[in-house]
Amino acid sequence: MSDAKAVADRLVKSKRLNALLTPSKELRSALTAQAAAARPTGVLYGMPVAVKDNICTLEFTTTCGSRILEGYRSPYEATAVTKLKAAGALIAGKTNCDEFAMGSSTEHSAYGRVVHPLDKTRVPGGSSGGSAALVGAGALPAALGSETGGSVRQPASFCGVVGIKPTYGRVSRYGLVAFGSSLDQIGVLGRSVHDAARVLSVISGRDPRDATCEDRDPLRLPTVPESLQGFVIGLPREYFPTELDPAVRRACDRAVRLLRDLGAAVREVSLPHTAYAVPTYYVIAPAEASSNLARYDGVRYGPRFDGHADLRGLYRATRGQGFGAEVRRRILVGTYVLSAGFYDAYYRRAQQMRALIAQDFRNVFDRGVDLLFTPTTPSPAFKAGEKLSDPIAMYMSDIFTVTANLAGVPAISLPIGRVKGLPIGGQLIGQAFLEDEMLEAAYALERVVPATDES
Amino acid sequence: MSVSRDDVLRIAQLAELDVEEDALPDVAEQMSRILDYVAQLSAMPAPTNGTVKTFVPGPDAIHFRPDEVAPWPLAFGPAAFAPAFKEGFFVVPKLGQFE
């Protein structure tokens, strides 16, 4: 059992990262109270787990990194949080994130950008950048994040930690603030595969409060395998384009050699609709966001912005001033693609493409492939400000992660090397509800990969 | 540019979102770039027989839960988190004119 004071001290020491939104004094008293009440028989007894600020907690405010929910205290908590507490974990504050989880750099938070733990000039990735930065800095063994298009795996890759996106329906989303409901999942960031996996195991399983959560038992953790004999691992050629960063390619090549050495059969495969994944995502996600974020109108939650003569003026002023630039942009794009005259050209097309992308995965898995191995991101962590004025360049950093969200399948990112001190992540994508197989391979690879060496 | 200043104003009205006058050119330019980018989806040949089924992840069927009275699920009521709440109602300004 870690001492509540020591946990708080470590987190407070990481203040320079701007990764935690909970004030130090509040954090200390909450941790002390939780430690006194934690169940000593719980499987996560005493383990501090920070929670992304778009997941509702009773102890702390839930702002989603937005001014429109500044000071908002939820009257209920997420099922994932309830399960963590029941297992004896300590909820170690709320982590900074891109506003409403929209972003890939954690620069789009109303509460300031998060700093990369190894290089202050760079971004930690996003949108779960606060969670990734704290785990990467060694302040915590694990933290919750959320994924709509790669928001756990991409920052995990940038910060040199493990990030898991479970199968859609594996973890209850009750209490996760909705962004793109057909894509959203709560995920876990951990300093090792085991730390992330044991938190995932605790938060997984059925929940009568979420109709999209599958009626299944919690995930059972596999043991660390001696070898990967019998595993067939596919390398989708579309994920290794000629323009891939050479250091990322070298790290992937080495990881593939290690997978072969472990006994896995590795073969090239094709997911032919991959090139359409990012445009598909950037139609579907904003469309769903424009609908989900309609609820923030200055009437029921959060602050109300003045300067309105009537009800619609109140809506417009509150939403116009309460949302940041990226969220406003996505609401507008989402409203546009759903509007009369454009629905067929954009939204229906994107839905059809999504079906083809999901079919690509089924085709590969039906032909005897157990898992796919890919880079997590096309490059290591980029400089702060580098992609802020170019939304398309920012969106392209999700190119290898959005497909798993579109297809609803599980995926994990783990460190596989470094370049000039910056971590590089490798991704294993599994079949729906076969997280145990995916974790077995991740355990085995983690044990042999020199993750902190230059590759 | 695929999105004009007037398009932005029309969409902003649908989205109930104020866009400041001096931000309009930037918003129009960025929306155009995003929409031009995602327009590559139209390069996909349209399904000739219209049989590409949409894909929705998650359970095949929604399971109904028993219709039982459950305890009040909130730790506190809306008076604690609403900007204005009085005698069981959210207080709003007058409705105004809906065009």
This model of the complex carries an ipTM of: 0.92
Per-residue pLDDT for chain A (455 aa), expressed as one digit of tens each?
Answer: 568 999 999 999 999 999 999 999 999 999 999 999 988 899 999 999 999 999 999 999 999 999 999 999 999 999 999 999 999 999 999 999 999 999 999 999 999 999 999 999 999 999 999 999 999 999 999 999 999 999 999 999 999 999 999 999 999 999 999 999 999 999 999 999 999 999 999 999 999 899 999 999 999 999 999 999 999 999 999 999 999 999 999 999 999 999 999 999 999 999 999 999 999 999 999 999 999 999 999 999 888 987 667 899 999 999 999 999 999 999 999 999 999 889 988 999 999 999 999 999 999 999 999 999 999 999 999 999 999 989 899 999 999 999 999 999 999 999 999 999 999 999 999 999 999 999 999 999 999 999 888 87
Supply φ then ψ for residue A146, to 5 degrees.
-140, 155
Is B36 inside any structural domain? Answer: yes
The catalytically annotated residue of A14, A52, A74, A85 is A52
Q: Report yes or no on B99 lying in a domain.
A: no
The verdict on residue A363 lying in a domain is no
Q: Which candidate, A229, A131, A255, places its Cα nearest to that of A186? A: A131
User: Is position B81 within any domain?
Assistant: yes
Q: Identify any residues that bridge with A428 across adjacent strands, giving them in sequence order.
A: A373, A412
A270 counts as catalytic? no
Distance CA A24, CA A9 (A): 9
Nearest to A356 among B52, B65, B95 (CB): B52
Cα atoms in the Cβ-side hemisphere of radius 13 Å centred on A223: 3
CA B68 to chain centre: 32
Please report whether residue A337 resides in a domain. yes
Q: How many CA atoms lie within 13 A of A206 on its CB side?
A: 8
The DSSP secondary-structure symbol of A380 reads S
In a domain, A369, yes or no: no
Residue of B nearest to A390 (CA): B30
| Residue type at position A202 | V
Q: Indicate yes or no: CB of B15 within 8 angstroms of CB of A331.
A: yes
Distances from the Cα of B83 to the Cα of A66, A93, A236, A249, A306, angstroms = 16, 25, 51, 52, 11
> Nearest CA of chain A to the CA of B45: how many Å?
10
Domain that residue A319 falls in: 279-344
User: Which spans in A140-245 are helix H?
Assistant: 153-159, 193-203
Q: How far is CA A35 from CA A1, A3, A8, A191, A304, in A?
A: 9, 8, 12, 22, 36
Number of independent structural domains in chain B: 1
Indicate the number of domains in chain A: 1
Within-domain flag for A339: yes
Does A301 reside within a domain? yes
Q: Any idea what DSSP says for residue A430?
A: -
Q: Read off the amino acid at residue A101.
A: A
| A408 interface with B at CB cutoff 8 Å | yes
Is there a contact between A355 and B33 if contact means CB atoms under 8 Å apart? no
- Strands A142-147 and A232-236, how do they pair? unpaired
| Domain carrying residue B79 | 5-90
A332 in a structural domain: yes
A285: contact with B, CB 8 A cutoff: no
Clarify whether A52 is annotated catalytic: yes
> What gap in Å lies between CA A314 and CA A304, rounded to an integer?
8
Residue A236: closest CA among A266, A270, A213: A270
Domain assignment present for B96: no
Q: Which of A66, A105, A151, A290 is catalytic?
A: A151
Specify the residue for token string 């974020």. Answer: A293
Residue B95 belongs to a domain: no
Residue A327 lies in a domain: yes
Nearest-neighbour CA in chain A from B79: distance (Å): 9
Alpha-carbon dihedral sign for residues A189, A106, A253, A431? positive
Q: What would the two tokens of residue A381 be?
A: 């962590």
Residue A218 falls inside a structural domain: no
d(CA A203, CA A219): 9
Q: DSSP per residue over B48-94, as a string?
A: SSS-------S-SSPPPPP--------SS-GGGTSSSEETTEE----
